[in-house]
Amino acid sequence: MNEYWSARVEAALNAAKGDISIEDLPIRTNETSNAYSVRFNGVGDYPLYAYLHVPKSDGPHVPLFQAPGYGSVVAVPPYERRAAYMVLALCHRGQRLSNSQYSAAYPGLLTDGLPGEDTYVWGDIVADCITAVQILLQQPNIDASRLAISGGDLAWITGALTDGLHALQSGGLMFADIDSRMQGDPDYPIAEFNDFKRTHPDSWDEARSTLTNYDPMNLATGVDASKVMLSAGASEKSYYDKLASAVSGETTVRVNLAKGHLDHIAQEEWLAEACGIEPGPVHYPRG
Amino acid sequence: MTRRDPSEWKSSVRRPDDFDEYWRQTEADTMSVPLNPRLELDPMRSTSEVEVFEAHYDSYAGLEIAGWYCRPRNIDGQLPGYLFVPGYVSEPKLPTDLAMMGYAAFSAAPRNKLRSNSVFNPGYPGLLVHNLDKRTEYGYRGFYMDAVRAFDFLSGLDEVDSSRICVQGGSQGGALALLVSALRAGQVACASAGAPYLCSMMDAASLTRSYPYEEINDYLRLHPEREEVARNTLDLHDIHNFVDKIECPIIVNIGLMDDVCPPETGFAVFDQIGSDNKKLYTYEDCAHDAGTGVGHDKVMHTFLAEHLNPVAL
C-alpha cells in the first residue's frame, strides 16, 4: 500500500473506533430480515449513515458490504440480499442521508477537489467505506472469514485496501482506463473529466497524477480476496482480463449479456456460491 | 417455476369519479403560477459544439424547479425539442448527447431531485408513499405538474419548433413521458416510454418485492388499516388512468423479467393508450433495462428522428 493510501486507511480504521448508534428501522424490516439505521462518524468527524439488514435466520451470517455507487441515492439492498447476508449499505459523505455537511453534485462529484491529492474528495469517500467495513465486522453473529464486498469503484478500491477479504464482486469501473475513455464525446460521468480538463488545462497534469491513486490497475495487487468476480461490458473484456491477471485470487471475468435479468441472476449466484450460501429467494416472477 | 402470461394480466386500477376534475383543478392551480423561465450558461459543461445552461422555472405551489438545457451552437432556424424526464433515484442526465443529435434538449429535475428539493424533500425511499394517506396532498401531485411544466418551458423557447417536440424517459421517466403526452395531447409530437413506473401501482406492489414499489409494501406492513385509503390515493395518481388521452405516435418498451416495474403493468398500460399509432417492444430475459442494452436505444432514436427530423452535428 502506498503512502497516499496508508495514511487514509489508518485514519479510517481509527474512525471505526468511535461511537456507533444502531437503531431499529421498522419500516424496512420484513419477514426475512431486521433493518437498522447505523450512524457513525467518518474521518474528520463527518456524520455518516448506513442501512444494516440482518437475516432472521440463524447465524453466523456472511457479512456483505454493499459499496455505494455513483449517485445521490443509496438504495435499500435488494430483497434477496437482505434475506441471505448481513448487509451494510453505506451512504458516503455527500450522498443523501450523509449530506448534513456536504452535498455532492451530479455532475461534479467525480472532479470535486481536483487537482490536489489532499483536496480530492474521493480520498475521504474511500475512507468512509473502509470505516463502514470495520463497523460491519464489529457486528455480532457474523462469520468474518467470509467477508464480501460488492459494487463498482468503491468496492474495488475498498477491497484492495481491506485485509482478510473473502469475496469481491465488481465491475463498471469509472476510474478504469481514463485516458482512452475520455477520447471523443464520452457520456457522463466520464465527461466530467473532459469538462475539468477543458476548463482547467493547466491543472490537468496534477489532476491526472492524483487519479492514478484510483486506477483499478494500480490497486489490483492489493486485492487479496480468495474469490473475485469482474463484470465487463462486451467491449471492455480485454481490460478486465488484464485487471484479473493482476489479482492473486481465483478470478472470474464475466461478460455481461446486457440482459438485466440474466446478468443479475449470474452475479447473485456467483456471490452466494463464493460465500458458501444459498442465494436469496427469487421473488419475481412469482409462480 | 410456472408463470402466468403477463400480457393476459388485468389491472385492478379504478378510475375515481373525480379524476378529471381533480387534474383539471391541479393544472389550473399550476397555471396560476407564472412559469418564470430562467437560463444561465454553464461555461464548465459547455463545449465547442454544445451550449449547456442551468435552467429554472416555477411550478405547482410556487416551487422552483431546476433542469439542464443543452442546444447546439450556431443554430440555424428552429430546432426540434427533446424533453427527457428522469427515473426515480437517478439524477437527471445532462443531455449534451441529445444536443449533438440536433435537438434542443431539456432534462428536468422535478421536486425532490437535487437542486429542486429545498422545499419538498421526502427522499428515496420516501417519495412514493409521501402523504399516501392524504389523497389530495400526495407527493406526486406536484411532481407530475413539474414534468408538465418542463414541457411548457421547452415549447416556450424561441429556438424550439413547438410542433416538433418529443418526450422520452425510462422507469419513472417512462411514466412521466406517458403523463406529459396525455396532459399535453395535441402538443407532444411523439413519445417513448421505457419500463413505465407508476402504472397499476397497488397491483405492482403485490407482484414484486423490489424497490420502489416495495415502499408500498413497507408502508402497508406498518399501517395495514390504511390499505383502502392508499388505494384511493394511488388510483387518483395512477398513470394507467391518464393514457387514454394520448394522441401522438408512441413506442413503449418493457423487459419481460422486470422485477422493478413488472411487465404485467406495462402490457396493461399499453393497452389503455389512446393513440392509434403505438407500438410495444418486449424483450426476453431483460429486467428493468428493458432492452436498452440489446438495441432498443437505436430503435428509439430512429423512431424519434423519423418524426422530428433533427440535423445531427
Q: Band the pLDDT of A1: cuts 50, 70, 90.
A: low
- Across the interface, whether the CB atoms of B285 and A185 are under 8 A apart is answered no
Q: Which helix (H) or strand (E) holds A230?
A: strand A227-232
Q: Quote the minimal CA–CA distance from B146 to chain A in Å.
A: 20
Average pLDDT (B158-175) is 98
Chain A neighbors of B288, CB-CB under 8 A: 260
Please give, one letter per residue, the 3-state secondary structure of chain B: CCCCCHHHCCCCCCCCCCHHHHHHHHHHHHHCCCCCCEEEECCCCCCCCEEEEEEEEECHHHCEEEEEEEEECCCCCCEEEEEECCCCCCCCCCCHHHHHCCCEEEEEECCCCCCCCCCCCCCCCCHHHCCCCCHHHCHHHHHHHHHHHHHHHHHCCCCEEEEEEEEEEECHHHHHHHHHHHHCCCCCCEEEEECCCCCCHHHHHHHCCCCCCHHHHHHHHHCHHHHHHHHHHHHHHCHHHCHHHCCCCEEEEEECCCCCCCHHHHHHHHHHCCCCCEEEEEECCCCCCCCHHHCHHHHHHHHHHHHHCCCCC
Is residue A242 within 8 angstroms of chain B, CB to CB?
no
The pLDDT, as a whole number, for residue A285 is: 83
Radius of gyration of chain A from its Cα atoms, rounded to whole angstroms? 18
The label of the residue with cell 448506513 reads: A50
The pLDDT, as a whole number, for residue A28 is: 98
Domain ranges within chain A, ordered by starting residue: 3-275
Average pLDDT (B75-86) is 95
The pLDDT, as a whole number, for residue B78 is: 97
What are the Cα distances from residue B110, in Å, to B6, B84, B141?
A: 31, 11, 11
Is residue A282 within 8 angstroms of chain B, CB to CB?
yes
User: pLDDT tens for residues B116-157?
Assistant: 999 999 999 999 999 999 999 999 999 999 999 999 999 999
Cell of B56: 429554472
In percent, how much of chain A has pLDDT > 90?
95
Q: In what order do the strands lie in the sheet with A33-42?
A: A20-24, A33-42, A46-55, A86-91, A63-66, A148-150, A167-171, A227-232, A250-255
Domain ranges within chain B, ordered by starting residue: 6-306
Cα torsion angle, B126, B132, B138, B143, sign: positive
Mean confidence (pLDDT) of chain B? 97
User: pLDDT tens for residues B8-58?
Assistant: 999 999 999 999 999 999 999 999 999 999 999 999 999 999 999 999 999
What are the Cα distances from residue A251, in Å, to A176, A214, A242, A243, B96?
A: 18, 20, 11, 10, 37
User: pLDDT tens for residues B227-258?
Assistant: 999 999 999 999 999 999 999 999 999 999 99
Chain B neighbors of A283, CB-CB under 8 A: 208-210, 259
* Reported ipTM exceeds the 0.85 cut: yes
DSSP A142: B
- Across the interface, whether the CB atoms of B218 and A30 are under 8 A apart is answered yes
Search chain A and give the residue with CA nearest B286: A259
Chosen from B90, B91, B129 to mutate, greatest number of chain A CBs within 10 A: B91
CB A281 within 8 A of CB A83: yes
How far apart (Å, rounded) are the C-alpha atoms in residues A33 and B189? Answer: 48
Mean confidence (pLDDT) of chain A? 96
DSSP A61: B
HSE at residue A60, side-chain half, CA atoms within 13 A, is: 15
State the virtual CA torsion across A28, A33, A37, A41 in degrees, nearest 10: -140
The pLDDT, as a whole number, for residue A107 is: 97
Neighbours of B138 (CB within 10 A): 22
Chain A neighbors of B258, CB-CB under 8 A: 260-261, 284
Chain A neighbors of B207, CB-CB under 8 A: 284-286
CA angle, residues B157, B158, B163, in degrees to nearest 5: 80
The pLDDT, as a whole number, for residue B4 is: 83
Select from B210, B214, B285 the Cβ nearest to the Cβ of A259.
Answer: B285
Is residue A267 within 8 angstroms of chain B, CB to CB?
no
Cell of B128: 412514493
* Residues belonging to chain B with any Cβ–Cβ distance to chain A shorter than 8 Å: 1-3, 6, 43-45, 47, 89-91, 93-94, 96-97, 100, 114, 123-125, 207-211, 214, 217-219, 221-222, 255, 257-259, 262, 283-289, 293-294
- Across the interface, whether the CB atoms of B257 and A284 are under 8 A apart is answered yes
pLDDT at residue A275 is higher than 80: yes
Q: Band the pLDDT of B161: cuts 50, 70, 90.
A: very high
- Across the interface, whether the CB atoms of A261 and B43 are under 8 A apart is answered no
Select from A97, A103, A258 the Cβ nearest to the Cβ of B293.
Answer: A258
The pLDDT, as a whole number, for residue A286 is: 66
The pLDDT, as a whole number, for residue B2 is: 56
Compute the count of residue pairs across chains A and B with CB atoms less than 8 Å apart. Answer: 104
Cell of B297: 436505444
- Across the interface, whether the CB atoms of B289 and A260 are under 8 A apart is answered yes
- CATH class of the domain whose range is B6-306: alpha beta
CATH architecture of A3-275: 3-Layer(aba) Sandwich (3.40)
CA angle, residues B22, B25, B28, in degrees to nearest 5: 150
- Across the interface, whether the CB atoms of B214 and A79 are under 8 A apart is answered yes
- Across the interface, whether the CB atoms of A27 and B222 are under 8 A apart is answered yes
SS3 content of chain A, % helix, strand, coil (to 5): 40, 20, 40
